[in-house]
């Protein structure tokens, strides 16, 4: 009896240590180019910006991917994007009104148009704050006041 409870405690300890060090909490993602990526299943941005995370996973993943790394040659990365870092308001414009202009991200030009994604300022701010802080991005935040400077045209 004693030995069994000791084993239970040991297994529990290994499990929680694993959780703490994150090595049990990664999932494998295969990109369209078939490379395997390890994505943290517990990105702190998911808990901090739950509404934005939900919108991202519903609308943006198709092109920018769960990894935030996009698809080479077609859809630009959001993870580590120098463009996003330097143009927070442009990200709001992208999600509200879409974009027909080519953008250069980390030295590569992307010219496929992006369709509008959300129809109100609250959703725009939620999803942009998520991408500004997901995948290790540390690009700050935008506010409703920033979003309201943009005219919704579509």
Q: Which residues contact 52 (CB under 8 A, 6 or more apart)?
A: 45, 126, 127, 128, 129, 130, 131
Residue that the structure tokens 């499990």 belong to: 15
Which residue reads 């959780």 in tokens?
A: 19
Does position 83 bind ligand HEC by CB under 6 A? yes
Q: Which of 62, 86, 145, 153 binds ligand HEC (CB under 6 A)?
A: 62
CB 24 within 8 A of CB 38: no
* Cβ contact 112:75 at 8 Å: yes
Longest dimension (CA), the chain: 70
112 touches ligand HEC by CB under 6 A:
yes
Among residue numbers 120 through 139, which ones bind ligand HEC (CB under 6 A)? 127, 131
Residue 123 has a CB neighbour count (10 Å cut-off) of 19
CB of 62: closest distance to ligand HEC in angstroms?
5
CB of 112 to ligand HEC, least distance (A): 4
**Taking CB under 6 A as the rule, does residue 76 contact ligand HEC?**
yes
The CB-of-111 to ligand HEC minimum distance in angstroms stands at 6
Q: Which residues bind ligand HEC (CB under 6 A)?
A: 55, 59-60, 62-64, 75-78, 81, 83-84, 91, 94-95, 99, 101, 103, 105, 110, 112-115, 117, 127, 131
């Amino acid at each position: 009896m004693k030995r069994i409870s000791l084993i239970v405690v040991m297994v529990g300890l290994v499990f929680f240590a694993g959780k703490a060090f994150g090595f049990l909490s990664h999932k494998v993602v295969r990109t369209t180019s078939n490379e395997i990526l390890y994505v943290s299943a517990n990105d702190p941005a998911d808990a901090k910006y739950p509404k934005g995370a939900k919108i991202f996973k519903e609308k943006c993943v198709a092109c920018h991917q769960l990894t935030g790394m996009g698809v080479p040659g077609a859809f630009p990365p959001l993870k580590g994007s120098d463009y996003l870092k330097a143009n927070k308001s442009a990200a709001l414009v992208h999600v509200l009104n879409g974009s027909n202009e080519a953008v250069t991200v980390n030295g590569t030009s992307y010219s496929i148009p992006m369709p509008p994604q959300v129809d109100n300022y609250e959703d725009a701010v939620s999803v942009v704050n998520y991408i500004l802080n997901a995948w290790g991005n540390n690009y700050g935040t935008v506010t409703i006041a920033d979003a309201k400077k943009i005219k919704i045209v579509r």
